[in-house]
Amino acid sequence: MPKDYTLKLSGLEPLIVNKESNFINIGERCNVTGSAKFLKLIQQENYDEALQVAMEQVRGGAQVLDVNMDEGMIDGEKAMVRFLNLIASEPEIARIPLMIDSSKWDIIEAGLKCAQGKCIVNSISMKVGMERFLYEAKKVKKYGAAVVVMAFDELGQADNYERRCEITRRSYDILTKEVGFNPADIIFDLNIFPVGTGMEEHRKNALDFFRATTWVKENLPGAKVSGGVSNVSFSFRGNNRMREAMHSSFLYHGIRAGMDMGIVNASMLEVYDDIPKDLLEKIEDVILDRKDDATEKLLEFAETLKAKDKKEVVDEEWRKGTVESRLSHALVKGIIDFIDVDTEEARQKYIRPLKVIEGPLMDGMNVVGDLFGSGKMFLPQVVKSARVMKKSVAYLMPYLDEEKRLNMDQAKNAGKILLATVKGDVHDIGKNIVGVVMACNNFEIIDIGVMVSCEKILEAAVRENVDVIGLSGLITPSLDEMVYVAKEMEKQGFKIPLLIGGATTSRIHTAVKIDPCYSGAVVHVLDASKSVPVASSLLSKDQKEGFFKKIKNEYETARVDHANRKEDKEYISYEEARLNKHKIDWENTTIPIPKVLGSQYFIEYSIAEIREFIDWTPFFQTWMLQGKYPKIFENEIIGAEAKKLFIDANKMLDEVIEGNLLTCKAAVGIFPANSVNDDEVEVYSDENRTTILHTFQFLRQQGKKGTNVANISLSDFIAPKASGKKDYIGFFAVTAGIGIEPLLEKYKKDHDDYKDIMIKSVADRLAEAFTELMHKKVRKEIWGYAQDERLDNERLIKEEYIGIRPAPGYPACPDHTEKPPIFDLLDVTKNTDIILTESNAMYPASSVSGMFFAHPESKYFGLGKIGKDQAENYAIRKGMNLELIEKWLAPNLNYDV
C-alpha cells in the first residue's frame, strides 16, 4: 500500500484532500433528482441554460460538481455524456473535479468514459451483493476515480459501532486486497443518525459514529470519512439555537475523531468555545451518552432557548484575567479596544519589549494559527487578529528601536518572506491576504508592492536576505513575467524557494513553464491557507529535502501528463474553424438602431445607486468563504462569520457614501460596426460607414466540435459587411477606485489590514456593479434594444438579459492588447483617470473594461487552445510579430514556443 494517503482529485486543476484540508463543498444543483429547475432544463434539452446552473455552482464556491441524471423520463446515459462533454468545453466549470452520481451503473460508466481529470463515483456498497460490488469497484479503479462507499451490506444499513466497523473492514479489505484500490481513494459514508429522540436504541448514535470514525482512521489506513451532520439534530427541528450548538459540538468531536468531510445544512454553526457552558454540558451529555437522563434534561433546557436572532452581549469577564490571557483573548477575538493598555502592562511586566512579542503576543498568534489551520477560524477573523497584533507591535516600536540601538537580539521568526506583484500588474488583494495569514504564523513579511520589476524583486531579496520569494499576478501577461523572474534567479545563482500565486496561475502552468527554468524549489500555492504549510515544509530542516524532491517529481509527472493530453486533444485547422462559424440568419434579423451613438461619460456617479447592483458572492470568495449569497448565511460552518463580514462591508459602504471617499467614473460608447473577413470587426465613425476608426481582431475556437456545434468567435455576433445589414458594437470602461490611495495610506498607518483588504474588496464589487448598471443603461436607454426589460438584481446576476459584455483578458477574448484601442476610442484616461500599465492592466485596480454585443444569440464561451496557423494569421492581422503574439497568448496556444 502507498504511504501517501492524500486524496488527489482534479478537473483542469487539482483538488488535494489531506489532514490539513477543511470541509469540501460539493455543488449539488446539477442533479435532476434534487433540482426541479435542472430536471426541466434537461428534459427540454436546454443544455446552454443547464450549463449556467453548473457555472453558478462553481462561482458559488463548489469545489466538486455533483452530476446526476437519474430520471425515468430521460435517457440518463445520453444526457450524462452530452452534459459532461459540454462541461469539458467550459474551462471555468471544467477546472473543478466531478462527482458522477447515479444509482445506475451504466450511467456512471458512461460519465466516467468522458470525464476529464480524476472524479468521484457516488456511490457503491455491498448491499447489491458481492459479485456486483466487485464488478463496480474494479470498473471504478479502471477509470482511475475515487469512490464513496456507503456503510451498507446485504443485511442492510450500519446503525451501530460494530456494524460500521464490520462493513467498512470488509469493504476496505476487498477494495484494497482484491481490487487493488488506493486506500486514499476510498471515502466511507458512516451514516449519521439523530440523537435526543427519547428512544433507547438511539442513545449511542453519535458516540458510535465517533468511535467508528476513529476505528476507520486507526485500522483502515488512508480511508476518508464523511457524513451528513444535520441529521444528528433532527429531534430539535424548529429550535435553531439548539441545532447550531449541537452541530458545532458534533463537528468538534467528529473532527477530533478523524472526520474528513461532511455535509452540513443548518442555518449557522456556533463557535464551539462560545456555546454557553450549561448548554454545552447538556448537549454533550446526550451526544456522548454520559447520563441516563441526558435526553430529558436537554429537552427541558431546549424549552428555555429562544430561536430568535441572538443579541450581542458585551462580556467584560475576560478583562479580569491575567495580562497574558487578555492579550490572547484580544488576538483571537480581534478586539483592539484595550490593546495599548494591555501592551503597556505586559511591557512593564516583561521589562524588555522584545519579550512581550516573543511571549504573550506570539503565544496568542500561535493559538490563532492553530485555530485557522484546524478550520475553527476563518480568514476575516484572522485578518482582525493581525490588526490587533500590528497595533500592539506598533505601540512597542519606540521601545524596540531603543533595544536595537543597544544591540539587543531581535525577535526570532519562522522565516523571512518577500512578496511582490510582478511588473505590469496592479492587483494585490490576494497577496495581502497571504501576507496576513503568514504573519499570523510567525513569518516576517516584506511586501514590496505592485508592478515590481524582476530587478527590484531580486535586489530586495538579496538586500533583505529573505528565505522565500513569493510572486503574485492576476492578468495573463504576469505569467510570462514570472517565467522571466525564475530564469533570472537561475542565472544569478539563487537557491531560495519561489512561490507562485494569483488568479491566472495554476499548478500545470507552474509545472510546465516556470519550474523547468529554476533548479531551486518552485511551488504553486492555490490559496492563502496553503501558504503556511508549503513555506514551513520548504524551510524545515527535517522536511525541506524530501518536500523539494517530492514537488520536483510531481511537476515532472505533470509535464509528461500535460504533453500526453495535448497529443490526445483534437484540433482542426483555422480554415476549417472559420467554415464552422456560428451561423446567424442575418437576412431575417432586425438590428435595433441605438438611441445615442458615440461616447458618453458618467463622472461621480451615485455609489448609492451602484450599490444596489452588487453581486456579493465573489466578495465572500475574496475572503476565502465559499458559498453563494445570500444562502452563505445559512451555512453551518461559515454562515455566522459571513454575516459579520457582510455587515462590516456595508458599514464601510455607508462611510464611503457619507464621506464621498471614492469616486466612480465611466466611459461608454456605441458605434456603427460590421464584421469582415470572418474574425475582424470594423468600427466606423458615423452612419456613413466610410471612415474606419479601428478594426478589432478576434480569435476563434479550434477544438474539434461535435455535430452541429460551432467553432465560435465573438465576431460571429456582428453582422457581416457583405450582408448589407447595419450593425453596432459598444465599448465601456468603468472604475470605482478613484480616491482609494489616501484610504490605503491611512489604514497602513493605522496597521489595519482588515480595513485595507475590506476597502479593496468593496471597491472591486462596486466596479463590477457599476459595469452591470452601465450595461443595463445601455440595453434600456443608450442603445435601447431592450427598453421593456424588467429584471431584478438576482436575474441580472444570472445574466438573463439579452446581450453580453466580454472583456479582453477573459475566456472569449484572452488578448489584453485589445484594451488600448478601446481606451483610444473612448478617450478613457482623459475622462475617467483609468490608465493602462505596460502589461495592459488597469489602474486603479478596481476597474473594468470591455465590449457590448446586442444580438440575442450572443453568448459567453471559452476560446480554449488555438493552433499556430491561427496565431500566425492573427499576428498578420494585428500588425505584430508572431513572437510577441505568442507571448500574449501563451496560455491559449496548443503548441510549445
Report phi then psi at 538, rounded to 5: -70, -25
CB-CB neighbours of 590 under 10 Å: 6
- The rounded distance, in Å, linking the Cα atoms of 246 and 847 is 45
576, pLDDT greater than 90: yes
Report which of residues 13 and 150 the model is more confident about.
Answer: 150
- The rounded distance, in Å, linking the Cα atoms of 516 and 607 is 47
- Reported confidence tier of residue 568, pLDDT bands at 50, 70, 90: low
- Tell me, yes or no, if 425 is annotated catalytic: yes
- Reported confidence tier of residue 306, pLDDT bands at 50, 70, 90: very low
- pLDDT given for residue 408 in this prediction: 47
Instruction: Kindly report which listed range (201-205, 232-236, 498-502) carries the lowest average pLDDT score.
Output: 232-236
Percent of the chain with pLDDT strictly greater than 90: 51
- Reported confidence tier of residue 827, pLDDT bands at 50, 70, 90: very high
- pLDDT given for residue 310 in this prediction: 42
- pLDDT given for residue 503 in this prediction: 74
What DSSP line would sit under 392-416, residue for residue?
A: HHHHHHHHHHHHHHTTPPPPP-SEE
Instruction: List the grid coordinates of 235.
Output: 429531534
- The rounded distance, in Å, linking the Cα atoms of 640 and 385 is 17
403, pLDDT greater than 70: no
- Reported confidence tier of residue 23, pLDDT bands at 50, 70, 90: low
- pLDDT given for residue 292 in this prediction: 86
Catalytic pick from 425, 428, 467, 480? 425
Tens of pLDDT, residues 832-862: 999 999 889 999 999 999 999 999 999 999 8
- pLDDT given for residue 270 in this prediction: 65
Averaging pLDDT over each range in 312-326, 348-362, 840-854, which range is the top one? 840-854
- The rounded distance, in Å, linking the Cα atoms of 324 and 370 is 18
- pLDDT given for residue 135 in this prediction: 93
Alpha helices in 174-322 (DSSP H): 205-219, 240-257, 277-287, 294-302
- pLDDT given for residue 784 in this prediction: 94
Instruction: Kindly report which listed range (88-97, 614-623, 662-671, 796-805) carries the lowest average pLDDT score.
Output: 88-97
Instruction: List the grid coordinates of 451.
Output: 508592478
- Reported confidence tier of residue 786, pLDDT bands at 50, 70, 90: very high
434, pLDDT greater than 80: yes
308, pLDDT greater than 50: no
For residue 565, the SS3 value is helix
Q: How far is CA 86 from CA 37, 452, 709, in A?
A: 18, 40, 10
Mean pLDDT of 771-778: 96
Instruction: Kindly report which listed range (316-320, 624-628, 756-760) carries the lowest average pLDDT score.
Output: 316-320
Tens of pLDDT, residues 240-279: 778 888 888 888 888 888 888 765 433 345 667 778 888 8
- Reported confidence tier of residue 309, pLDDT bands at 50, 70, 90: very low
25, pLDDT greater than 70: no
Tens of pLDDT, residues 811-822: 899 999 999 999
- Tell me, yes or no, if 409 is annotated catalytic: no
- pLDDT given for residue 109 in this prediction: 92
- Reported confidence tier of residue 435, pLDDT bands at 50, 70, 90: confident
- pLDDT given for residue 307 in this prediction: 39
For residue 20, the SS3 value is coil
- pLDDT given for residue 777 in this prediction: 96
- pLDDT given for residue 686 in this prediction: 95
- The rounded distance, in Å, linking the Cα atoms of 124 and 171 is 10
368, pLDDT greater than 50: yes
- pLDDT given for residue 236 in this prediction: 77
407, pLDDT greater than 80: no
Mean pLDDT of 562-583: 84
Averaging pLDDT over each range in 435-449, 474-488, 724-738, which range is the top one? 724-738
- pLDDT given for residue 565 in this prediction: 67
Instruction: Kindly report which listed range (39-43, 316-320, 466-470, 787-791) carries the lowest average pLDDT score.
Output: 316-320
608, pLDDT greater than 80: yes
Tens of pLDDT, residues 735-765: 999 999 999 999 888 888 889 999 999 999 9
229, pLDDT greater than 90: no
Please, which residues have CB within 8 angstroms of residue 97's CB and are 6 or more apart in sequence? 9, 10, 11, 15, 63, 64, 65, 117, 118, 119, 120
For residue 569, the SS3 value is coil
- Reported confidence tier of residue 523, pLDDT bands at 50, 70, 90: very high
Mean pLDDT of 595-599: 95
Determine if residue 407 is left, alpha or beta; phi over 0 gives left, psi from -120 to 50 gives alpha, anything else beta. left
- Reported confidence tier of residue 379, pLDDT bands at 50, 70, 90: low
Catalytic pick from 247, 427, 694, 775? 427
- The rounded distance, in Å, linking the Cα atoms of 103 and 128 is 11
- pLDDT given for residue 485 in this prediction: 96
Residue with cell 461535435: 706
Tens of pLDDT, residues 28-46: 678 887 677 888 899 888 8
Beta bridge partners of 452: 422
H/E element, 680: strand 680-684
Instruction: List the grid coordinates of 661.
Output: 471617499
Instruction: List the grid coordinates of 427.
Output: 492587483
374, pLDDT greater than 70: no
Mean pLDDT of 297-312: 61
- pLDDT given for residue 133 in this prediction: 93
382, pLDDT greater than 80: no
For residue 124, the SS3 value is strand
What DSSP line would sit under 157-213, residue for residue?
A: E--SHHHHHHHHHHHHHIIIIIS---GGGEEEE-------SS-GGGTTHHHHHHHHH
Please, which residues have CB within 8 angstroms of residue 131's CB and are 6 or more apart in sequence? none
Compute the mean pLDDT over every residue in the chain, rounded to the nearest whole number.
87
- Tell me, yes or no, if 478 is annotated catalytic: yes
- pLDDT given for residue 155 in this prediction: 85
Catalytic pick from 102, 171, 478, 858? 478
